[in-house]
Amino acid sequence: MVRPRVTLVVPCYDEERRLRPEAFLEALEAHPRLDLCFVDDGSRDGTRQVLEALRARASDRIRVLALEQNGGKAEAVRQGVLASIAAGDSLVGYWDADLATPFSELPAFIEVLDREPDVDVVLGSRVKLLGREVERRFHRHVYGRAFATVVSLMLGLPVYDTQCGAKVLRSTPTLRAAFEARFQSRWIFDVELLMRLVGAWQGEGLEPARKVVEVPLRVWTDVPGSKVGVRDAIRAGVELAELGRRYGAPLRAARRS
């Protein structure tokens, strides 16, 4: 049986210094089913040139989408995913440019989608287990746990980690519809995406808990140079309340029915 290829969207905003072209080329070599779609999110530095040089070295497997204006990670990922679906890719995903999640984790994601035809969404999950290298700073770990607990209650789905930058998705019509409209949240669009999907699955009479699988990562490194700070953590809380107002009531109603 021919296994579907997977295209990972890599959003890049001012990543000239953090991007490691060799790591991406090595990943293409190690994972024959992998293609990459970089989205330059209106970077002000030399990101575009770095990406073009990278594409020239593997032009059959690398696409570069250049957005003129910075629109934030949510919009960059959305544009990349829509372009990949339009190109006919049946597995799409997104992966942070800093490679905090190394590509060596990718097979675990793809295996789930190969094995479980009913599962459409695979999330990387930063569970700090003994024997694993998941190095989140303490305050981010604690904040992340609190955040995920609130999100779990809102979704009615016990998700451990919504904010990991590594996710692989099956490009079903429901998924395409979930990416159609711009996300209202700039910082926690992953949650908004899940809210849209859970709502849609409930509408189709499907059990959301059977559609999403979390893969506990073996390695996750907190790569320096993150552009997310304390203010963003506060904004994330505000955005979560806004998402609750917009998507919360229909989700609760569907759970009761």
Ligand X SMILES: Nc1nc2c(ncn2[C@@H]2O[C@H](COP(=O)(O)OP(=O)(O)OP(=O)(O)O)[C@@H](O)[C@H]2O)c(=O)[nH]1
What residues line the site for ligand X (CB under 6 A)?
Answer: 11-13, 15, 41, 70, 72-73, 76, 96-98, 100, 163, 165, 226-228
CB of 140 to Mg ion, least distance (A): 10
Distance CA 101, CA 217 (A): 8
Closest C-alpha among 174, 164, 173, 157 to residue 223 = 164
Shortest spacing between CB 67 and ligand X, in angstroms = 9
Read off the tokens for 65: 């989408």
Query: Cα–Cα distance between 226 and 219 in angstroms, integer?
Result: 18
Q: What is residue 101's DSSP assignment? A: S
Give which of ligand X, Mg ion, none residue 174 binds (C-beta under 5 to 8 Å, depending on kind). none
* Distance separating alpha carbons of residues 37 and 237, to the nearest angstrom: 30
Contacted by 3, from ligand X, Mg ion, none: CB < 5 to 8 Å by type: none
Q: What is the footprint of Mg ion within residues 96-125 (CB under 5 A)?
A: 96, 98, 100
# of chain residues touching Mg ion (CB under 5 A): 4
Q: Spell out, one character per residue from 189 to 228, where the chain touches Mg ion: x when CB under 5 A holds, - when not.
A: -------------------------------------x--
The answer to the question of residue 10 lying near Mg ion (CB under 5 A) is no
Of these partners, Mg ion, ligand X, none, which one is at the site of residue 144 (CB under 5 to 8 Å by kind)? none
- Tell me how far apart the alpha carbons of residues 16 and 244 are, in angstroms, rounded to a whole number: 36
Strand partners, 93: 8, 168
Angle at alpha carbon of residue 23, lines to 90 and 74, rounded to 5°: 50
**C-beta of 35 vs 96, nearer to ligand X:** 96
Among residues 15 and 89, whose Cβ is nearest to Mg ion?
A: 15
* Cβ atoms of 239 and 185 closer than 8 Å: yes
Contact footprint for Mg ion (CB under 5 A): 96, 98, 100, 226
